[in-house]
Amino acid sequence: MSKKEELIYDGKVKSVFATENPQEVIIKFRDDMTAGDGEKKEVMDNKGSLNAVISSILFKVLEDNGIATQFIELIKPDEILSKRLEMIPIEVIVRNIATGSLVRKYPIEDGIKLNPPIIQMDFKNDKFHDPMLNDSIIKSLGIANQEEIDILKYRAFKINDILKEFFDKIGIILVDFKIEFGKDNKGNIILGDEISPDSCRLWDKETLEMLDKELFREGKYDKVMTAYGEVYKRIIGE
């Protein structure tokens, strides 16, 4: 059993610890919840473990469909043993339905289906409010080369296809989501971070009710954990 050693990274909602194996880390999902680049902050009991379990199951689904992920094992309800990656500071966002920042920035009607889905890359940087990137900016800033950018895009679309189908079977529409990738010690690009109701917009297929962090962004604090619990129950097949 891997032992937690020193803290190597403390994010807004997750903490990463070294282990005795230099190629592995333990990611602890905390109960903290933030929005607006960390400006809004609350503690939501049990959120860490719900998200850790949901993310573990989704990463396992992706692995079973040929996507390399950093997931190794859920070792505690809120802790995942993971491959150590050097993270690429890009938030890769895929959108199947127009909403959120897309409809605030572009003349697109809220709620319309996007066919083909939109892919967007944002620079992970709170100080600059995660500005949108394009291939040219990514290359000029030295974040990734063209071959790596192409891998990120291709991989993100494949992940979208797999997850859209997975969620559809449990009565959920995958509206949009954000993923992050990193490189292992051999330079392979691997899916990292998490996929959970914190990083996706998920709507109930029948009622179109929100089942994700948007409730928190809108200040509906009393509804957040019920929604996350519903996603959890459907994912584990309860």
The nearest distance, CB 186 to ligand 5GP, in angstroms, is 28
Site for ligand 5GP in 13-42 (CB under 6 A): none
Contact mark string toward ligand 5GP, 79..118, x via CB under 6 A: ------------x-x------xxx----------------
Give the shortest CB-111-to-ligand 5GP separation in angstroms: 13
CA distance 217 to 2: 36
Tell which one of 55, 56, 70, 199 touches ligand 5GP (CB under 6 A): 199
Which of 30, 47, 83, 213 is close enough to bind ligand 5GP by CB under 6 A? 213
What φ, ψ does residue 141 adopt, rounded to 5°? -80, -5
Q: Which residues have C-beta within 8 Å of that of residue 96, sequence separation ≥ 6?
A: 113, 114, 117, 160, 164, 173, 174, 175, 176
Output 18 or 192, the one with its CB closest to ligand 5GP: 192
Among 130, 148, 180, 230, binds ligand 5GP (CB under 6 A): 130
Report residue 28 CA to chain centroid gap.
Answer: 15
Using the rule CB under 6 A, give the single segment among 51-59, 109-117, 142-150, 195-203 that binds ligand 5GP: 195-203
Helix (H, G, I), strand (E, B) or coil at 114: strand
Residues at the contact surface with ligand 5GP, assessed by CB under 6 A = 91, 93, 100-102, 130, 176-178, 198-201, 213
